[in-house]
Structure 1
């Protein structure tokens, strides 16, 4: 995104900038407000020097540190996010949640057990004989989508008993 399109919220920066001008013009109280203004200018310059990928990484890390999700809602933030912008800290903060829906995929089956596999596929999919046969012959194919872990394991166990190779995805 070009820098010309970036909108800076002027309301929140206005008091700080006016105070910095006042202090720099009058020379009084130069330690507090001037240091803040210099610090903000230094940070802004450093951010403008980042390349596109670094800016993206920084924005993700900044949102995580503030406890914001993608749309700005406050979320639970892990207490220790880690160092400033290290890839490990970003990865640790965005851990993948445990999978709840599984797909049962029929990889292959013994030719002698084809009829038994078709019967089992019919049993848990409520398909007709022709449809179940077509699915089994297409192996490798997903035979059941979006089932719970327990149900997927039960289906996989039944198919393995009759001679099929099954994978849970």
Structure 2
């Protein structure tokens, strides 16, 4: 029994022309249709939260987002929209913190800088290593120093460092 907006408007216009009491019926139909989308959020607790959030400034909203991320343990995603670290990263951090004397097996590779003459080559290599788009990899390289990968094995980290140094980039393993 759903009718299109155009059909409802035409029928209301016809009824308005026919009788003056039909105006109240058209208003009732349109208000019912308008209220049907509003009826989806009937929880008063959610309505108050939405009202409070809608009154925040941009800076307050950014603070709210960062606070929710830390409280709910939501990781920040890199620009490419993919997770650089595996899902079990918090467990590994806890394991690494407990035995400090134990030898480190996973490393972080960080891009410190690059030679301006080899900027294009470095961007292409970052694109292939991280799986970013060309624009994202250009932004990534230009914002150096920046972390490239986390939780990388020593062998993989050394390979990445060697290839990046050949291209003229300064990369460190932490």
Aligning the two structures, in what range does the TM-score lie when normalised by the shorter sequence? 0.3 to 0.5
| TM-score, structure 2 as length reference | 0.42
Greater relative contact order structure (CA < 8 Å, 6+ sep)? 2
TM-score, normalisation: structure 1: 0.43
